[in-house]
Homo-oligomer: A and B are copies of this chain.
Amino acid sequence: MPIIKVTMTEEEGGATAEQKAALIEGFTRVFSQVMCRGGDTAVVTIEEVSTDNYGIGGRSVTAIRKAQSAASR
């Protein structure tokens, strides 16, 4: 009964229900194939975090996206 948690930024409306289902299915399959257990019992949780609440290298992803957008103009 392994626990797999993914934390990711919520970009452009967030992941679709289909993407979430594919992450749940895929992570469980990988765990089951590698560890030979957990296929029926693995718990997967998906946490989506707004870009204001997610930082990389000292800047929020909101700020990083703005800088990228300005640079690409």
A interface list, Cβ under 8 A from B: 1-9, 15, 17, 19-35, 38-49, 52-60, 62-63
Residues in B whose Cβ lies below 8 Å from that of A27: 4, 27, 30, 55
> Binding site of A, secondary structure by majority: helix, strand, loop or mixed?
mixed
The reply to whether B30 and A34 contact each other, CB–CB distance below 8 Å, is no
Known contacts A26-B30, A42-B58, then 15 further A-B pairs from the complex at CB < 8 Å, ordered by chain A residue: A1-B43, A5-B5, A8-B35, A19-B35, A20-B53, A21-B60, A22-B30, A24-B58, A25-B58, A26-B34, A28-B57, A45-B49, A45-B53, A46-B49, A46-B55
Residues in B whose Cβ lies below 8 Å from that of A32: 58
**6 sampled A-B residue pairs with Cβ under 8 A:** A8-B38, A23-B31, A39-B57, A40-B57, A47-B49, A48-B53
